[in-house]
């Protein structure tokens, strides 16, 4: 696998997942604003933008949120930007990306870049983005060989998922007063149905946090994402070692997962904001490690028979 | 005429490929009937389908960083089997002669000693590359892929407009056009026996592998692209994908100790054949442009020691030079001892004083072309130029006569084209593609028909607002026979048959320089009638 192609696939995985998660988050966020009259609108918008890592100095309202996170091509956090970046990566790896997957990405980009999202009702726009993203992900899984390239794609997807779920949980902790905030988070993760099936209709922040952080079967939980990322890294670097780990990324991911495993839930809950920030840092560091190991033009320097 | 073609009038003094006056030419009768059977709404819907499907698939070319879909017209361009046979023979013949020529000028230079072409014509070409002297490419092939541009003149005869043996592009559209058209007009398709084009990537890969360095049992082939901002990036990606090989950029390759490697997530892997779509100038900063970041330092040395095959070979551009073009008929006679199957466009050489004098008197009625221009760049069409433009041209010609040739205005043939809801005649050219594997030259049946979309426009080029047509080469027994079973074919992509033109009576005594002059004079074009556009 060409380093450049591996990198492109990794980022397609991340960007498509980011587009989907962002539209979920926006969807739920707007519903909350509409349904809950008691809520402090400005504070909610502010906390959402903060959680998504957007620096913004203007008025915090719904229009700003939609612009910055949905349809503004100049905002790097927007859905349109994510799709555009995914398409650019796909374009650079077109001989590897399958025709079906490329067309799914390209038509999505064509639809969104024509400014359609600004004209649609927000709820329809979110649905469109979710459906198109799911379709692209499914095309990737269904039409690419599950070889090294696909592993990089899934690795990117998993890391992005961990990052996004951590951001959501963090945004929940910003407004602890709101009774519905964990409900909101569950729905934003697409986890409400699965959570209810697992815990029944027991509304407890503790149960929700446990589910989003530690559930081993739910595909958007943090543990699930970390496990999947670790599995990809294992396939990418299968060397069996008696000591240590295969690479920095594997070590970073493994450490994060172990830390979630061994600590009690109360422990985690007591320091939730810091934990979630730490997890975002894990995603950054793991991505750096993967880039260094795989994307920067091949392997560690080789000895060239004394010529160097 | 009824329906869609009602009111369609071919342009005066122009060969229309579908209509002979008001009669439909035989090969087009079925197409005409079938298209007439469509309602206006249906025709428009299918035409819209072509544009939207290209947008979805990203079938685009890049102009100044902006991706544009390549417009595909709904009316196909048909070539009957007899005409095609001449094209096939003629293109293969030309490629073989150019191969021999390139091998000669980068080697012994016998052609100069025999006085067929003056040495200065070759050495003064900006595309003649001294670093390529003495490189013997594996398998002896330099022109792995050729695209020979043809036009039909006023009489309907195919003539050669120019040779492209550097990095000819456009073949991807031949394949995508076919796919799109079979979806848009399935019923028209099934009523014709059209020679397929889908095997091109297999042929290309086989030819590239066949020319791998000696001793490599299972060669690794890559396609080298300048990157996503190159106008033909779509094509590079498509060919790589369809051949199942890596598409690499300069930075993905590294040359070490005379070998070339590709950087992968598992280290460096050797590369044996590079189908490069990067110009000579940018290929190797060690030898050519030092500021190039598109190429690979050391690539040319690896080619020189024979460890890697560069396809097409470095230095081929000299054969594309439009002044060299004027000598190609002589080169065919000299190297192959055959008469050219396809004629050149009559051409005046500006560096020849007699020609120059004549041309300078007639600038307002001729087409002036820079010899190293590509894509219609720098061409001045006399009858369309203003007085000031003509005077400016005169100054430039006198400053650099080697840099220009002159040709009469050829009224390219037209084909009905669906524009703004009606059928209108538009000028077309044809670029057939040939692949040379060291043993034979195969010509892909059809090629890229480019359409000049603005009315009356004679420059047919994608960068000048051109479109394209699916080009159907019909099998000999078209339309579909009632009972005859399909004749056995050796694959959908026929090898070119050896030129059937008998060799000259006396096997080519190399012409003396005096005879050469004589021929040039006798071949200099006769004044034409009013070449109005």
pLDDT, tens digit (0-9, with 9 covering 90-100), for A7-37: 999 999 999 999 999 999 898 888 888 877 7
Indicate whether A283 pLDDT > 70. yes
Q: What percent of chain B has pLDDT over 90?
A: 67
The answer to whether residue A221 sits within a structural domain is yes
Q: What is the pLDDT of residues B456-486, one digit of tens each?
A: 887 776 666 689 999 999 987 655 544 443 4
pLDDT digits (tens, 9 = 90+) for B56-109: 888 887 777 777 888 999 999 999 999 999 999 999 999 999 999 999 999 999
Residue B118, CB-side half-sphere exposure with 13 Å CA sphere: 15
Q: Kindly report the nearest CA distance between residue B274 and chain A, in angstroms.
A: 15
Taking only Cα atoms into account, the Rg of chain A, rounded to an integer number of angstroms, comes to: 20
* Residues β-bridged to residue B20: B23
Confidence of residue B291 (pLDDT cuts 50, 70, 90): confident
Q: Cis check for the bond before B312: say yes or no (omega within 30 of 0).
A: yes
Give chain A positions within 8 Å (CB) of B252: 2-4
Q: Does A237 fall in a domain?
A: yes
Q: What is the pLDDT of residues B111-137, one digit of tens each?
A: 999 999 999 999 999 899 998 898 889
Residue in the structure block whose two tokens are 């059977």: B37
**Nearest-Cα residue of chain B relative to residue A106:** B56
H, E, C per residue of B173-233: HHHHHHHHHHHHCHHHHHCCCECCCCCHHHHHHHHHHHCCCCCCCCCCEEEECCCCCCCCH
Could you tell me if residue A272 is left (phi over 0), alpha (psi between -120 and 50 degrees) or otherwise beta? alpha
The helix (H) or strand (E) run that includes residue B62 is: strand B60-63
Mapped onto helix, strand or coil, the DSSP state of residue B15 is: coil
Contact list, A304 vs chain B (CB under 8 Å): 256
pLDDT for B463 equals: 62
Please give the residue of chain A at the shortest CA–CA distance from B56: A107
Position of tokens 């939207």? B52
Mean pLDDT of chain A: 86
Closest CB from A1, A102, A294 relative to B58: A102
Q: What is the arithmetic mean of pLDDT over B505-529?
A: 42
pLDDT tens-digit readout, A169-201: 887 766 555 556 788 888 888 888 898 888 887
Do A287 and A247 form a contact (C-beta atoms < 8 A)? no
Task: With a cut of 90, say whether residue B164 has pLDDT above it.
Answer: yes
The dihedral over CA atoms of B321, B326, B330, B332, expressed in degrees to the nearest 10, equals 50
What is the band of A240 on the pLDDT scale with cuts at 50, 70, 90?
Answer: low
Confidence of residue B338 (pLDDT cuts 50, 70, 90): very high
Quote the tokens at residue B432.
């057939």
The answer on pLDDT for B532 being more than 80 is no
The angle at the Cα of B329, spanning B326 to B331, to the nearest 5 degrees, equals 95
Q: Pinpoint the alpha helices (H) of B376-533.
A: 387-399, 513-523
Q: Indicate whether B259 pLDDT > 90.
A: yes
Answer yes or no: do A151 and A257 share one domain.
yes
Chain B's closest residue to A107, CA to CA, is B56
How far apart are the C-alpha atoms of A56 and B216, rounded to whole Å? 60
Ramachandran area for residue B157 (φ above 0: left; ψ -120 to 50: alpha; else beta): beta
A2, A99, A299, best to mutate vs chain B, most B CBs in 10 Å: A2
Task: Give the model's pLDDT for residue B504.
Answer: 44
Q: Is the pLDDT of residue B523 over 60?
A: no
Q: What pLDDT is stored for residue A177 in this prediction?
A: 56
- Is A307 a domain residue? no
Unique residue bearing structure tokens 């993967």: A290
Task: Name the phi and psi angles at B407, rounded to 5.
Answer: -140, 155
> Distance (Å, rounded) from C-alpha A24 to C-alpha A258?
29
A291/A180 same-domain check: yes
Whether B513 shows a pLDDT value over 50: the answer reads no
Test mutation, B53, B265, B268, B298, chain A, max A CBs within 10 A: B265
| Cβ B335 vs Cβ B396: under 8 Å | no
Asked if the peptide bond before residue B23 counts as cis, ω within 30 degrees of 0, the response is: no
Please report residues of A whose CB lies closer than 8 A to that of B267.
Answer: 298-299, 302
Q: Is the pLDDT of residue B497 over 80?
A: no
**B472 and B192 in contact (C-beta within 8 Å)?**
yes
Biggest distance spanned by C-alpha atoms of chain B: 70
pLDDT band at A91 (very low <50, low <70, confident <90, very high): very high
How far apart (Å, rounded) are the C-alpha atoms in residues B151 and B429? 5
Residue A241 lies in a domain: yes
Q: Are residues A267 and A181 in the same domain?
A: yes
Nearest by Cα to B146 from B130, B131, B162, B158: B162
Is A33 within a domain? yes
Does the pTM surpass 0.95? The reply is no
Q: What angle do CA B505, B510, B514 make, to 5 degrees?
A: 115
The last residue of one of the domains, among A97, A121, A144, is A144
A8-12, A263-267, B257-261, B326-330: the lowest-pLDDT one: A263-267
A121 shares a domain with A102 = yes
Does A305 map to a domain?
Answer: no
Share of chain B above pLDDT 70, in %: 87
**Which residue of B lies nearest to A108 if distances are taken between CA atoms?**
B56
Task: List the one residue out of B13, B7, B8, B5 whose CA is nearest residue B412.
Answer: B13
pLDDT band at B436 (very low <50, low <70, confident <90, very high): very high
Statement: residue B521 has pLDDT above 60: no
Tokens encoding A189: 């993760």
Residues A46 and A125 grouped into a single domain: yes
Contacts of B262 in chain A (CB under 8 A): 2
- Cβ burial of A7 (10 Å; 0-12, 13-18, 19+) is buried
Please check whether residues A136 and A215 belong to one and the same domain: no
Backbone Cα Rg of chain B: 23
Task: For chain A, give the longest Cα–Cα distance.
Answer: 74
Confidence at A116, pLDDT banded by 50, 70, 90: confident
Residue range B249-265: mean pLDDT, rounded: 91
B266 contacts B274 by C-beta, under 8 angstroms: no
Count of CB atoms within 10 A of residue B514's CB?
Answer: 9
Cβ neighbours for B243, distance < 8 A, ≥ 6 positions apart: B201, B202, B204, B205, B221, B223
Instruction: Report how many Cβ contacts below 8 Å link chain A to chain B.
Output: 69
Which residues fall within 8 angstroms of residue A203, CB to CB, at 6 or more apart?
A182, A183
The answer to whether A81 and A88 are in contact (CB under 8 A) is no
Residues B195-225 pLDDT 10s? 999 999 999 999 999 999 999 999 999 999 9
- Of A144, A166, A182, the last residue of a domain is A144
Its sign, for the CA torsion A111, A117, A121, A126, is: positive
| B69, B60 contact by CB (below 8 A) | yes
Same domain? For A201 and A108 the reply is no
Strands (E), B170-299: 221-224, 246-248, 253-256, 259-264, 267-271, 273-276
Q: Does residue A36 sit in the same domain as residue A127?
A: yes
Total domain count, chain A: 2
- Tell me the percentage of chain A whose pLDDT exceeds 70: 90
Summarize pLDDT for A127-137 with one digit per residue, the tens: 999 999 999 99
pLDDT of B320 = 92
Contact at CB, A302 and B267, closer than 8 angstroms: yes
Examine the domain organization and report whether A136 and A245 are in the same domain.
no
What pLDDT score does A115 carry?
A: 82
Distance from CA of B229 to the nearest CA of A (A): 10
Contact assessment for residue A129 and residue A79, using Cβ atoms and an 8 Å cutoff: yes
Record: contact B56-A94, CB cut-off 8 A: no
Task: Give residue for tokens 């002589």.
Answer: B330
**Which residues of chain B are within 8 Å of residue A4 when distances are taken between CB atoms?**
249, 251-252
Answer for the pair B434, B95: CB distance below 8 angstroms, yes or no. Answer: yes
Residue A2 is nearest to which of B227, B233, B262, comparing CB atoms?
B262
- Per CB-CB distance under 8 Å, the chain B contacts of A289 are none
Is B161's pLDDT higher than 90? Answer: yes
Residue B508 clears pLDDT 60, i.e. is over it: no
Average confidence score pLDDT of chain B: 86
What share of chain A has pLDDT > 90, as a percent? 51
For range B18-43, the mean pLDDT = 93
For residue A264, tell me if it sits in a domain. Answer: yes
Partner-chain contact A298 B268, CB within 8 Å: yes
Is B520 in contact with B344 (CB distance < 8 Å)?
A: no
Query: What does the block give as tokens for A263?
Result: 């600590």
With H, G, I as helix, E, B as strand and everything else as coil, classify residue A77.
coil
CB B89 within 8 A of CB B496: yes
Would you place residue B308 in the very low, low, confident or very high pLDDT band (cuts 50, 70, 90)?
very high
What pLDDT does A170 receive? 82
ipTM of the complex, rounded to two decimals: 0.74
Contact A159, A286 (CB under 8 A): yes
Task: Write out the residue range of the structural domain in which residue A279 sits.
Answer: 145-296
In the predicted structure, residue B257 carries a pLDDT above the cut 60: yes
Non-local (6+) Cβ contacts of B234 within 8 A are B58, B59, B60, B61, B172
* Residue where a domain stops, chosen among A144, A165, A188: A144
Buried b (16+ CB within 10 A) or exposed e, B201-225: bebbbebbbbbbbeebeebbbbbbb
Per-residue buried b or exposed e for B18-35, using 16+ beta carbons within 10 Å of the residue's own CB: bbeeeebeebbebbbebb
Best CA proximity match to B237, nearest among B460, B454, B60, B55:
B60
- Which tokens is A35 given? 């349904």
Average the pLDDT over A291-300 and give the result: 68
User: Could A95 and B262 be called an inter-chain contact, meaning their C-beta atoms sit closer than 8 Å?
Assistant: no
What span, in angstroms and rounded, lies between the C-alpha atoms of A7 and A93? 9
Question: A82 lies in a domain?
Answer: yes
If asked whether residues A229 and A218 sit together in one domain, one would say yes
One domain for residues A267 and A234: yes
The reply to whether A133 and A171 lie within a common domain is no
């Amino acid at each position: 696998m060409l380093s450049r192609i591996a990198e492109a696939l990794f980022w397609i995985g991340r960007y498509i997942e980011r587009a989907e998660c962002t539209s979920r988050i926006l969807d739920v966020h707007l519903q909350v604003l509409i349904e809950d009259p008691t809520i402090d609108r400005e504070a909610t918008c502010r906390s959402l933008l903060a959680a998504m890592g957007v620096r913004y100095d203007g008025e915090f309202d719904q229009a700003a949120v939609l612009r910055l996170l949905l349809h503004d091509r100049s905002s790097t956090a927007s859905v349109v930007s994510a799709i555009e970046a995914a398409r650019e990566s796909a374009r650079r790896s077109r001989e590897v990306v399958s025709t079906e997957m490329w067309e799914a990405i390209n038509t999505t980009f064509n639809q969104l870049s024509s400014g359609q999202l600004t004209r649609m009702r927000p709820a329809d726009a979110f649905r469109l983005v979710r459906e198109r993203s799911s379709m692209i992900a499914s095309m990737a899984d269904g039409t690419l060989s599950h070889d090294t390239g696909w592993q990089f794609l899934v690795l990117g997807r998993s890391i992005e998922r961990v990052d996004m779920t951590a951001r959501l949980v963090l945004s929940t902790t910003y407004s602890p007063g709101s009774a519905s905030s964990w409900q909101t988070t569950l729905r934003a993760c697409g986890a409400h149905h699965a959570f209810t099936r697992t815990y029944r209709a027991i509304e407890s922040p503790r149960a929700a946090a446990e589910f989003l952080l530690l559930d081993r079967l739910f595909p958007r939980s943090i543990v699930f994402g970390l496990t999947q990322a670790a599995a990809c890294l294992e396939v990418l670097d299968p060397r069996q070692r008696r000591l240590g780990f295969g690479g920095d990324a594997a070590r970073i991911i493994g450490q994060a997962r172990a830390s979630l495993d061994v600590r009690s839930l109360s422990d985690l809950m007591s320091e939730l904001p810091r934990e979630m920030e730490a997890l975002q840092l894990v995603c950054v560091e793991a991505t750096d490690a993967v880039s260094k190991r795989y994307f920067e033009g091949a392997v560690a320097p080789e000895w060239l028979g004394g010529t160097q | 005429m009824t329906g869609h073609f009602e009111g369609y009038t071919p342009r005066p003094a122009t060969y229309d490929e579908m209509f002979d006056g008001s009669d439909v030419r035989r090969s087009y009768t079925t197409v005409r009937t079938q298209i007439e059977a469509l309602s206006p709404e249906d025709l428009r819907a299918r035409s819209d389908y072509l544009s939207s499907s290209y947008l979805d698939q990203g079938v685009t070319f890049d102009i100044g960083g902006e991706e544009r879909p390549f417009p595909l017209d709904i009316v196909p361009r048909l070539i009957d089997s007899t005409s095609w046979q001449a094209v096939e023979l003629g293109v293969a013949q030309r490629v073989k002669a150019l191969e021999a020529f390139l091998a000669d000028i980068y080697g012994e230079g016998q052609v100069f000693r025999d006085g067929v072409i003056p040495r200065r014509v070759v050495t003064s070409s900006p595309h003649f590359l001294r670093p390529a002297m003495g490189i013997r490419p594996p398998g002896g092939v330099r022109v792995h892929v050729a695209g020979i541009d043809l036009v039909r003149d006023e009489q309907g005869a195919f003539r050669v407009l120019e040779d492209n043996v550097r990095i000819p592009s456009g073949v991807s559209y031949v394949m995508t056009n076919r796919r799109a058209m079979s979806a848009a007009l399935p019923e028209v398709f099934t009523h014709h026996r059209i020679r397929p084009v889908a095997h091109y990537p297999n042929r290309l890969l086989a030819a590239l592998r066949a020319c791998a360095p000696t001793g490599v049992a299972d060669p690794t082939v890559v396609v080298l692209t300048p990157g996503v901002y190159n106008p033909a990036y779509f094509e590079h990606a498509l060919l790589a994908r369809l051949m199942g090989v890596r598409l690499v950029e300069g930075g993905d390759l590294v040359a070490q100790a005379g070998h070339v490697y590709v950087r992968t997530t598992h280290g460096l892997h050797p590369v044996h054949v590079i189908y490069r779509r990067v110009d000579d100038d940018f290929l190797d900063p060690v030898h050519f442009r030092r500021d190039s970041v598109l190429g690979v330092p050391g690539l040319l040395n690896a080619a020189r020691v024979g460890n890697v095959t560069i396809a097409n070979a470095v230095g081929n551009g000299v054969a594309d030079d439009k002044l060299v073009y004027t000598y190609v008929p002589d080169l065919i006679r000299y190297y192959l001892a055959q008469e050219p199957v396809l004629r050149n466009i009559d051409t005046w050489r500006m560096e020849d004083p007699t020609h120059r004098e004549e041309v300078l008197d007639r600038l307002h009625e001729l087409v002036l072309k820079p010899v190293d221009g590509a894509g219609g760049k720098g061409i001045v069409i006399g009858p369309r130029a203003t007085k000031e433009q003509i005077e400016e041209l005169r100054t430039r010609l006198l400053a650099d006569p080697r840099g220009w040739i002159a040709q009469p205005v050829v009224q390219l043939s037209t084909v009905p084209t669906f524009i703004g809801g009606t059928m209108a005649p538009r000028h077309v050219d044809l670029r057939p593609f040939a692949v040379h594997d060291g043993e034979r030259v195969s010509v892909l049946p059809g090629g890229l028909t480019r359409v000049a979309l603005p009315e009356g426009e004679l420059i047919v080029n994608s960068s000048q607002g051109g479109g394209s047509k699916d080009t159907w080469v019909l099998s000999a027994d078209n339309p579909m026979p009632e009972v005859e079973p399909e004749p056995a074919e050796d694959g959908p992509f026929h090898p070119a048959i050896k030129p059937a033109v008998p060799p000259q009576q006396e096997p080519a005594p190399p012409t003396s320089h005096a005879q050469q002059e004589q021929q040039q004079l006798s071949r200099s074009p006769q004044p034409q009638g009013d070449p109005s556009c």
